[in-house]
Each structure stands twice: as C-alpha cells, then as structure tokens.
Amino acid sequence: MMNINPCQECRECDSGASCVQHNDDMSIIYRKIREVDGIALSSPIFFMGVTAQTKAMIDRCQCFWIERYVMKTRAYEGRRRPKGVFLSCAGSPKPIVFEPAVHTVKAFFAAIDYEYAGEVLLGHTDAPDLGSYKAAALENARAAGRKLCE
Ligand SMILES: Cc1cc2nc3c(=O)[nH]c(=O)nc-3n(C[C@H](O)[C@H](O)[C@H](O)COP(=O)(O)O)c2cc1C
C-alpha cells in the first residue's frame, strides 16, 4: 500500500508552489498524473464515500486545483487531454450509494484537468450471488475501457 499523508491545508500551494510534503509516495502520483494518458481510479464505498486512503490522495491534489483554477495553466499542456474513469463497488444494491463518491471523483478529475470518461459501479457485493449485477458491471467495464482508449 502506498504511504500518503493527508493535506494539512498549509496553503503553500496557493501561490502555485508544489506541495511542501516531500516525504511520502505522492511524488510518484504527481509525476504519473502529468505523464499518463488515462487513470482508472478504484475505491470501494466506505460510509457513502471513497476510502480514507483514496480521499487523502485526492486532497493532496489541491496543488493541481490551484494550477488549473487560480494559475490557469493546464497540467497536460502540449498533449491530448487525459481521461479518467472511476471503478467502485458497494455492499448496498441501491445506486444512490455511489453518488457522493462519484461527485468527489468527478471533482478530482476536474482538478487534475482530466476528462471524466465514466464509471463502473458494482453494487450488492454483500449478496451471496452477484448474478446479473456482475454481468452488467462487466459490460460497463468494457464500455468504460473503450471510452478511455478512444
Ligand atoms: C468501513 C466500511 C464501510 C462501508 N461502508 C459502506 C457503505 O456506506 N455503503 C455500502 O453499500 N457498503 C459499504 N461497505 C461495504 C463495501 O463497500 C463492500 O463490502 C465492498 O464490496 C468492499 O470492496 P471489496 O469487495 O473490493 O473488498 C463498507 C465496508 C467497510 C469495511
């Protein structure tokens, strides 16, 4: 598991500076965000949201938010706009269980200046037999994969 400290809201990145925390694995993620053509962000639903580890990673991308919305520079300057998809699962069969996390993840991809290309959401994982849910999720996964590669 990666070691990612939470954002301290020190506000150092407010002026476009990079994150002051240099002692964890976010440096790997910062570099990848600037290099890759697509990201599949995966997290199960914990208490109606993404996991604490995922949220810590997202919060540490506040420096990208500043870049995009305050400094008005583009993280993918000079290349095609990258895309992001969200993969998630939850114990509940109710689709509403994914809504808060989808909003969070959309905000994340907007902050890092990626196009949100869709999601694959598998509910009802508490059920002993996923049955038709699994088939539908696999079909969604193929569609999201195609969108990511378009
Ligand atoms: C701490 C914790 C909180 C959870 N909160 C929710 C929740 O709010 N809604 C829900 O539908 N499932 C919830 N679950 C169930 C998980 O989303 C579900 O078991 C999921 O399949 C876990 O992912 P995994 O199968 O990849 O391990 C929670 C599970 C844990 C451990």
What's the pLDDT score for residue 53? Answer: 97
Long-range contacts of 2-6 (CB under 8 A, 24+ apart): 2/28, 2/29, 2/53, 2/57, 4/29, 4/53, 4/56, 4/57, 4/60, 5/56, 5/60, 6/56, 6/59, 6/60
Out of 1, 43, 47, 50, give the residue to mutate to test ligand 1, the one with the largest number of ligand atoms within 8 Å of its CB: 47
Residue 7 lies in a domain: no
20 alpha carbon to ligand 1 midpoint, in Å? 33
141 alpha carbon to ligand 1 midpoint, in Å? 20
What's the pLDDT score for residue 5? Answer: 97
Return all residues near 61 (Cβ < 8 A) that are at least 6 apart: 33, 108, 111, 112
Return all residues near 67 (Cβ < 8 A) that are at least 6 apart: 16, 73, 75, 113
Residue 6 lies in a domain: no
What's the pLDDT score for residue 14? Answer: 95
What's the pLDDT score for residue 39? Answer: 96
Out of 54, 125, 129, give the residue to mutate to test ligand 1, the one with the largest number of ligand atoms within 8 Å of its CB: 125
Instruction: Give the CATH number for residue 128.
Output: 3.40.50.360
Q: Is 133 in the pocket of ligand 1 (CB under 6 A)?
A: no
Residue 34 lies in a domain: yes
Give 10-residue mean pLDDT values along the chain (150 residues): 96 93 95 94 98 98 95 82 95 96 98 94 87 81 85
Q: What is the pTM of this model?
A: 0.94
Tell which phi-psi region holds residue 10, choosing left (phi > 0), alpha (psi between -120 and 50) or beta. Answer: alpha
Residue 1 lies in a domain: no
90 alpha carbon to ligand 1 midpoint, in Å? 5
Q: How many domains does the chain have?
A: 1
Residue 2 lies in a domain: no
What's the pLDDT score for residue 127? Answer: 86
What residues make up the domain containing 114? 12-149
Which residue's C-alpha comes closest to atom 28 of ligand 1? 46
DSSP string, 122-147: E--TTSS--HHHHHHHHHHHHHHHHH
What's the pLDDT score for residue 148? Answer: 82
